[in-house]
């Protein structure tokens, strides 16, 4: 797909990312992978997904270097799927989706899952911090500079 068309006239990393990850099944597969799921049958069982959809999404994740296929050491007939470094970098995005869902979509019982930091044993509240000063960053505190100028659509002369 033409990235300009997908994101309007702006060259955009969000649109580029959505070209690969913009499907609910992709994120649910990633969620399961972060929970430790490695085998096709386990993804299938946990997600209740059609086999053709699961195969297609796993193929996409492998093709983009987000997951890799490995032969199972215990059973050479089976394939295991593991997150690559590129895939592990998506963890903060999965956490952000979870955090938003917990805040805005939880039922009366509250969030269905609580995260804790293994290092200290305390409940984990993911936050975004500035790498330079360490302060928590909020949307209204972020500015940007476009490296490629926004393109105004050219009018047809015909």
Q: Assign residue 39 the CATH number of its domain.
A: 1.10.10.10
pTM of the model: 0.83
Q: How far apart are the first and last CA of the chain?
A: 26
Is 50 exceeded by the pLDDT of residue 4?
Answer: no
Range of the structural domain that residue 69 is part of: 3-141
Is residue 156 very low, low, confident or very high in pLDDT (cuts 50, 70, 90)? low
Burial 27-38 (b: 16+ CB within 10 A, else e): bbbbebbbeebb
Helices (H), the chain: 3-6, 13-21, 24-34, 40-47, 51-63, 85-88, 91-104
pLDDT on residue 11 = 76
Which run of H or of E encompasses 67? strand 67-71
pLDDT tens for 91-136 read 999 999 999 999 999 999 999 999 999 999 999 998 999 999 999 9
> 76 pLDDT exceeds 90?
no
The verdict on residue 156 lying in a domain is no
Query: 158 in a domain, yes or no?
Result: no
In a domain, 152, yes or no: no
Domains contained in the chain, number: 1
- How many C-beta atoms surround the C-beta of residue 79 within 10 A? 15
Give the sign of the dihedral formed by CA 24, CA 16, CA 54, CA 91: negative
């Amino acid at each position: 797909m033409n990235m300009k068309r997908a994101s309007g006239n702006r060259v955009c990393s969000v649109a580029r990312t959505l070209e690969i990850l913009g499907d609910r099944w992709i994120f649910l597969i990633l969620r399961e992978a972060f929970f430790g799921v490695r085998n096709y049958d386990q993804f299938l069982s946990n997600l209740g997904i059609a086999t053709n959809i699961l195969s297609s999404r796993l193929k996409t994740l492998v093709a983009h270097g987000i997951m890799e296929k490995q032969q199972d050491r215990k059973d050479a007939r089976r394939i295991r799927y593991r997150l690559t470094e590129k895939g592990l970098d998506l963890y903060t995005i999965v956490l952000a989706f979870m955090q938003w869902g917990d805040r805005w979509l939880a039922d009366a019982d509250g969030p269905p899952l609580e995260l804790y930091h293994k290092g200290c044993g305390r409940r984990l509240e993911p936050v975004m911090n500035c790498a330079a000063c360490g302060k928590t960053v909020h949307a209204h505190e972020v500015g940007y500079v476009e490296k490629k100028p926004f393109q105004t659509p050219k009018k047809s002369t015909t």
